[in-house]
Amino acid sequence: MKKILSALMLVLVTAGMLFAGGSQESAPAESVSAAADGGKYVVDTIRVGVASLPTSMDPTLNVGNATIRVHFNIFDTLIYADQDDNYALKPMLAESWERIDDYTLELKLRDDVYWHNGDKFTSKDVKFSFERLNEDIPGITLARSLMNTIDHVEIIDDYTCRIVTKDVDPLLEIRIASSWGAWMLPCDYITEVGNDEFALKPVGTGPFRVESFSPERVVMKRSENYWGEQPYVNTLEYVNYPEASSRITALMTGEVDIITQLPLDQMSVVENAAGVSAVSLPITNMHVVEFYFDGVDPSNPLNDKKLRQALSLAVDRQLLSDAFWDSQAVVPHGHQYPEFGDLYFADYPEEEYNIEKAKQLLAESSYNGQEITYELRNGYYTFGNEVAEAVTDMWRSLGVNCRVIFKDSEDDETLVRNWSNSMRFSDPAGGLWLLWGNLEESRWGNKPQAFLDAGKVLTSSLDPEARKTAARELMDIFREEVPAILLYYPVECWGVRDGLNWHPYASQTLNFRADAFWGTEAE
């Protein structure tokens, strides 16, 4: 395990380099001369240092952690899943909704909503937003998978519409409240300028409008025609700092006010610095090691289930948590999240580490020394680099020929790569099933029919007990087939300038709406 310890030492060395570089005048400090607004204080500019920015401002394309952090403040959904209230469903662009029958949901829309370009939001936009998901647009498949139970949208009048599903969908209201693909989009504007122009110059109904977008920075201004309570910041900027050390330095020198993906072992560095603090929170996300196999190709060693099982059993997840996450990353009990409520199985066995059993399965497998490459984007996930090196070191100790390769882009047929599985909505259908059974781009080939059948019950049955049985069966089959190694629930950490009234969300959305960001404390 020398390489595991070496990787840990590398992180500690990085922390020691944080103070390299000269200090700069605190730009945000100049902009905090705030005006009183209803007992709260409006900040002129908030700058957020992030590890990565969206490659597109179209919120339905390439949906992921980097995108929802930004898009959450620009666009709205019909229904709002309030994360401060156990994901309770509340009105957003829809004032009310009701089931007409098992296939039809009728929604009454607000009549005072305007797009950032001044156009009125109507039922036409609802129809366009959902039906556009069926277009052949690169990067739209994840959002389409989230909404693929929708057949069509009927317009009753400008402010009344009906969503009609293909099958019975007990989860429709939760789906259309998700920040992973249910955003409302402007029909007339996109029809006029096209998808490519919209991706560069988006128009939404949210509290912030986009002023500029580049790979380095996204600048947003408060939308004066926003239908809801105005946010307590005039200008919101997201600035790209791929390296954690650069983000922390930017926070300490005053270049930014908030940073994301602060490594746990560097929280004390921030907490001990003047004028800034750190906050951490378990997130609705799971880091995984994803396999590619189709069940057919004899040259792919991962088509052997015993090899996949051996690789999983050889990973000491608790050691990874102890070494890199200050023991705060939690080893999961199957592919599920506590936010599932009654459909969370607290008694489900924890992911197992058993090196002797792993050696036995490897010996029984057809593996004969082929090289297995673990490919990943440099620095994309917190501790992703270090964990990849540690995992491959564990596999080499098992007797597997493997190595880590850093790449700028992902290859769909890469044998092994890292990934994170975020909860799309608070139900097993928004976790394991959506990502591994329903996702068009799933790299798990030749899925067992029993897995597909259980997914059908989970997403279409109105019987709570039948859904519960199906959810557990999905986890059992996933554990048996091992399309991926479940590592842990990570802990997200943020660095925050003192005096800001803001709190993070477990979903990793960065919410600067009036319900989550209250400006600065009175000075």
**Are both 29-72+207-282+492-520 and 79-190 of the same fold?**
no
Characterise 77 by phi-psi region: left (phi > 0), alpha (psi -120 to 50), beta (else).
beta
Indicate the CATH number for domain 29-72+207-282+492-520.
3.40.190.10
Q: Is the dihedral of CA 442, 446, 452, 454 positive or negative?
A: negative
Is the CB of residue 283 less than 8 Å from the CB of residue 506?
yes
Q: How far apart are CA 251 and CA 19, in angstroms?
A: 11
pLDDT in single tens digits along all 523 residues of the chain: 433 333 333 333 333 333 233 333 333 333 444 444 555 788 999 999 999 999 999 999 988 888 999 999 999 999 999 998 989 999 999 999 999 999 999 999 999 999 999 999 999 999 999 999 999 999 998 899 999 999 999 999 999 999 999 999 999 999 999 988 899 999 999 999 999 999 999 999 999 999 999 999 999 999 999 999 999 999 999 999 999 999 999 999 999 999 999 988 899 999 999 999 999 988 999 999 999 998 888 899 999 999 999 999 999 999 999 999 989 999 999 999 999 999 999 999 999 999 999 999 999 999 999 999 999 988 888 899 999 999 999 999 999 999 999 988 767 678 999 999 999 999 999 999 988 997 666 788 889 999 999 999 999 999 999 999 999 999 999 999 999 999 999 999 999 999 998 888 888 889 999 988 987 754 4
Taking the C-alpha atoms of residue 442 and residue 455, their distance in angstroms, rounded to an integer, is 15
- Assigned token pair, 171: 């989860």
What does the chain come to in residues?
A: 523
Distance CA 258, CA 250 (A): 9
d(CA 421, CA 335): 9
Superfamily of domain 79-190, CATH level 4: Dipeptide-binding Protein; Domain 1 (3.90.76.10)
Beta-bridge mates of residue 520: 500
How far does the chain reach from its first CA to its final CA, in angstroms? Answer: 52
| Residues 210-238 pLDDT 10s | 999 999 999 999 999 999 999 999 999 99
Phi and psi based region of residue 191 (left: phi greater than 0; alpha: psi -120 to 50; beta: remaining): alpha
Q: Of the candidates 111, 104, 105, 100, which has an alpha carbon nearest to the alpha carbon of residue 89?
A: 105
Paired sense of beta strands 160-165 and 150-157, if any: antiparallel
Residues 6+ apart with CB under 8 A from 321: 327, 328, 329, 330, 331, 488
Q: Domain limits of the chain?
A: 29-72+207-282+492-520, 79-190, 284-488
pTM here is 0.84
Which CATH superfamily groups domain 284-488? Dipeptide-binding Protein; Domain 3 (3.10.105.10)
